[in-house]
Every structure is written in structure tokens, then in C-alpha cells.
Homo-oligomer: A and B are copies of this chain.
Amino acid sequence: MSLSSTSSHTMDKSITLPPDEIFRNLENAKRFAIDIGGSLTKLAYYSTVQHKVAKVRSFDHATKVNRDDKLYEISVQEEVTARLHFIKFENAYIETCLDFIKDHLVNTDTKVIKATGGGAHKFKELIERKLGLKVDKEDEMTCLIKGCNFVLRNIPHEAFVYAKHADSEFRFQTTQPDIFPYLLVNIGSGVSIVKVESEDKFERIGGSSIGGGTFWGLGALLTKTKRFDELLQLASKGQHTSVDMLVKDIYGGSYGSLGLTGDLIASSFGKSATADKEFSKEDMAKSLLHMISNDIGQLACLYAKLHNLSRVYFGGFFIRGHPVTMHTITYSINFFTKGEVQALFLRHEGYLGAIGAFLKGAEEDNPNQYSWGENYAGSSGLMSVSPDMNPMQRARSGTFDMLEMDRLERQLVNLPLLQDPSSYIPDTMDLTEDALAREYWLYCFEEALDGVVKRAVASQPDMPEAAQRAEKFRQKYRHKLQTLRQQPL
């Protein structure tokens, strides 16, 4: 069945996919969109999920706790939710993935797949042959910006500022209806710098060939490590100062009159020019990461200044929530703009093009009818690249990475009942910022847990397994609270 003789990717035949984990709900997939970059493929599909939903039918506020009649009535219903699935894998796996999709696709009724990214052209014939769908190409920049606007508007806490040494590393920005103008620095294999002025008005004002592909490519040559995430891991363990020539290596200290501190990198890889020694993989990877992140940071600043923009978002697969990368970019932006420009990262940085391509297709049917919310349970978290946090997830995200979004059957708008939503300041508190308040509330929730469990059991006197289920809930809930205490973000 496979035409492997015509394929240049012979390695992908040897790869075993973890399909049930990655391609969730593929059976009912209804619509596809694909974004093929220079190195990575991002696939989006939309399917329906059947699940039981418990709904409270009545709740009497006046009812006393100790009464023995029912506290509230619930009804369990079967519901069908529309869910959007995104997965990301290296281009090398594309044939295997397409084969898998073809084999498992049962109920699809669409005949078209939206495709974007540079590879849309290159892999068009392969996709059409494998899936039997017609490839409908969409402009890459249009999809990228569409996706970016979408996540900025719709996904809560999408953008964040990274501050390495702060109490909380991530400072999430609240979603705002007013997102323009901004600069998007999309770091894929290369870098595209796009000025976005409105939903339809944007321009690629610059770019650079020193991007994620350079980190990967030069990193592979220097360290013989072929995997991107392994390179990032190496980098996080290295010391760039043993490879880079610092200001103090040249001047013996800082260059005060120019405001250059001694620890500033004067020349990336400057020490490896003359030193007769072996450099560790870790140190070289770190130096490379610094070199590339600094360079992108500086370019971003210059374009932001030249076009008078103060919000700069970083997207693309290069960042991957990697602390060293985000720190270096943030540092670089602060250094070059003296704090005037803020580096903002996106939680869904890698999926912008795929989201945009999907929306393009969805719009053609029903523009602006739905809202989308993230399904946290089915998505790889922000820290998925950190193996210490969650080794299981890490092993997966090396080559595959997931995002799921659930559809709400109406459009969400910002505070629809307010006369002037933009001037309204909600009285909320951010428990990720306020450690004392966080501790207080976690304590409250823990204290209340026994009572909640007791009431849950009491609310279903006819169900013999109620006590068992309530106990299971207690354990899960307590575990969640403990996780929140350790990782508030």
C-alpha cells in the first residue's frame, strides 16, 4: 500500500506512534487543517465527543444542611461537544501520520483539507493521495495572523511576560478586546517579523535566517544530537561563559563608559576560536541558544522601535516555553529598549498557523458563531519541555505535542451586560501573584473538602457506590490542591 519508493522519508516507517493518546477522537473527525513549516507539521482536526454531563436541576438556597430531604436535584445527560484537536510532529513523520489518519477515519464527510505553511505546496500531492481529500491552500501569513488574533482574543491567559527571578515566573496578561497594533515575531525554522495593525491589515516587515532551524542545525552539527528538545535540554545544563568571549574576557572588567557590563557577551563562540580544548555539548548548546535568542531579541526591538510598536509577541515552535530561551529574549529586549518594549510569549505559540487555517475553513460555513475554550485535560502544558516536572509528558512532547479546544455553541463577548466594558475594572485577585492569598484559599478548600464529600454522599442516598465515588473525588481533589500549592501556574 505504501509508495515508499517515491518518498524521501524512509525513516518514518520505523516509527511506532502512540495513536490512542495522540489522535484522540479521530474516528469522528469532521474537518482538517494542516500547517507544514520547514521542520514541523501542525495538524488540526475537529470532531465530536460524547460525554455525560451532570446538571443541577434545582437548588434551594434556603434549605438547611441537616435536613434529610435532597439538597439539590441533578440529572445526567449525554452531550455531544465539538472539540478541536491540534497535534504537532516533525515533518519526517508525516507519511506515517497520514497513513494512520486514513486507516482510522470513519465518519468524515468533508472532502477538503485546508493547508498552510511553506510545506503545503511540497506535500500537497502526498496528502491528497494518502487522505483522498482535496488540499485547499491558504496563505501562510494570513493564517498565522488569523491564528494569533484568535488566541489573543479568545484564550484566557494566552500571552504572558516571563521573569526568571520573580516570585512567579509567568505574568499572564488578561485578554483584551483591543489587541492592535502589535509586532509578531514568529520563530520557526527562520524568523518572520510581522506588523499587525488590524484583523486584515498586516505586513511582513522583516525576517532573519537565524532561527529555530539554525539552533537545530548548528546544534546537531556541534553536538551530534539530532533531537530539538534534547538540544534544549543540553542547553539548560550548559555554561555559555566557557565558549563565549565576554566583555570582561577582553577588558578584564566592564567597559563602563559604554555601559557594557563585564558579563555581557562580546563575541559568541569567541573562545572556541583560539582555545585548544574540547568544549562540552552542554556549553556549546547554551552558547548557541544565547546567540540566537539575543539576535532575535535585538532585531525584534529594532523593528518595534522603527515602527513605534510597544507590544511584541513571540510565536513559532522555537520557544516551546523553554525558560532559557524566554529569559534570553526578555533580557535582550529589556537591554536594547531600556524597558520600553515588552516581550510577550504565547502559550500556543506553535499552533498559530494551524488555528488560522482551521478558522479559515470554519468561517466559510458559519462565521463568528462559536467560541472556543481550551480543554486543559487534553493539552500538553506550558512546561511540557521540562522533563523534571513530568517525565511522561516530556517523552511524548519530544515529537508530538497536543492542544485541544472545546466549542461553545454561542459566541462569547467581553462582559456583554456592561455599558462600557473597556472602562470596567473587575475586582479579582490573581492567586499566582499573591502567595499569601493563595495559601489562604488553598487551606480553605482543603478544610471544606470533608464537608463537601459528606454532602455529596448524602445527596445520593439511593446510590450504593456513592461513598466510593466520593472518596475517589476526595483524593483527586486533594491531589489537585497539592499540585496547585507546588506549581501555582
What is the interface of chain A, defined by CB distance below 8 A to chain B? 11, 37-39, 90-92, 118-119, 121-122, 139-141, 188-190, 204, 206, 208-214, 216-222, 226, 228, 243-245, 247, 249-253, 255, 257-258, 265-274, 276, 279, 284, 291, 294-295, 298-299, 302-303, 305-306, 336
Contact present for B253 and A121 (CB under 8 Å): yes
Choose among B38, B267, B284, B305 the residue that contacts A245 (Cβ–Cβ < 8 A).
Answer: B38
Cα–Cα, bound, A302→B276 (Å): 37
Q: Which residues of B contact A274 (CB under 8 A)?
A: 39, 90-92, 216, 226
Given A218-B218, A221-B284; A269-B303 close (CB under 8 Å): no
Chosen A-B contacts, 8 in total, with CB atoms closer than 8 Å, are A11-B276, A39-B273, A90-B274, A92-B274, A119-B250, A141-B258, A221-B284, A298-B299
Whether the pair A209, B267 counts as a contact (CB closer than 8 A) is yes
Q: Kindly report which residue of chain B lies nearest to residue A243, judged by CB atoms.
A: B217
Q: Which of B218, B222, B252, B272 makes the CB contact (< 8 A) with A122?
A: B252
B208 engages A270 (CB within 8 Å): no
Chain B residues closer than 8 Å to A90, beta-carbon distance? 274
A298-B208 contact, Cβ under 8 Å, with A220-B272, A250-B118, A251-B122 = yes
Question: Roughly how many angstroms separate A432 CA and B251 CA in the complex, as a whole number?
Answer: 43
Known contacts A118-B250, A221-B279, A245-B38; A213 and B273 CB within 8 A of each other: yes
Cβ contact within 8 Å between B250 and A214: no
Q: Least Cβ distance of A46 to chain B in Å? A: 26
Closest CB in chain B relative to A177 CB, distance in Å: 29
Closest B residue to A217 by beta carbon equals B269
* Across the A-B interface, the 6 shortest Cβ-Cβ residue pairs: A118-B250, A213-B267, A217-B269, A213-B270, A216-B273, A189-B267
